[in-house]
Amino acid sequence: MMDKITVPKPRRFRRNFVILTVAFLILGSAWFAGFNIFEVMGNLYKGSRLLGRMFLPPDFSYIPRIISPMLETIQMALVGTFVGAIIALPTAVLAANNFIKTKWLHVPLRLILNIFRTIPAMVLASLFVAVFGLGAFSGVMALAIFTFGLISKLTFESIEAIDYGQVEALMSLGANKMNVLRYAIMPQILPQYTSYTIYGFEVNIRAAAVLGWVGAGGIGQTLEYNLAWRNFDKVGMIIIFSFAIVLVIDLVSSAIRKRLV
């Protein structure tokens, strides 16, 4: 006679407890933040009127006047990404715990990187505007530091995930640290590092577009000016043009990153 198969009952109490806890957190956060769904529904008409003023019809005649600020935004993102990525590579090598196994070096470096990554680019831009004044240079500095923190973390994690067999093979032949870095580590992480740099450029394009709100140049400064003067038709054109540029850059960079990784 075969033994009776007993199917364990699902733990409904734990599932219901998790669902109730998540629901409580969401509703509690909405109440604390002052979110009111009825107020949102009541202002849909005003929102639709504003969208109509912005996009119906689009003011295409304004495009020639926003090409120059958009080019400045792209240049800010390009230079900031390049500077941040260049500094990030040697920093990531020193921060990896499988290359230089010294805690007093890579632990403080990781702490510094964590601090840099917690500061938004907008806050950095505000600080640099106060130091260097209005203009694109402050935006470039903010994006460079933001990119440095982002790419450094991603790169040192890639270094720690390499195939260590190649490193051990070179070390068994008497290779020094620089040779190990050149012939075993760099060939393995360069595709990922390049991909991270391109991704950082994508992120910086979006970040640079709003840095003008604090006086750091670019298309954001033009957007802030038109919003202040309630030129909603021009605001809508800036949004459409920025969306198109960011979309093209995202498509191109995504295609490049797929070929690298």
Write the pLDDT tens digit of every residue in 3-22.
566 656 556 778 888 889 99
Q: Hey, how many other C-beta atoms are within 10 angstroms of the C-beta on 154?
A: 19
Assigned token pair, 16: 């219901």
Round to whole Å and give the CA distance between 200 and 194.
10
**Domains delineated in the chain:** 66-260 (1.10.3720.10)
Q: What is the pTM of this model?
A: 0.82
State the chain's mean pLDDT as an integer: 87
Report whether 70 contacts 245 (CB < 8 A): yes
Round to whole Å and give the CA distance between 216 and 139.
5
Round to whole Å and give the CA distance between 140 and 37.
39
Closest-CA residue to 216 (of 153, 110, 122, 97):
122
What percent of the chain clears pLDDT 90, i.e. is strictly above it? Answer: 32
pLDDT at residue 110 greater than cutoff 60: yes
pLDDT at residue 33 greater than cutoff 90: no
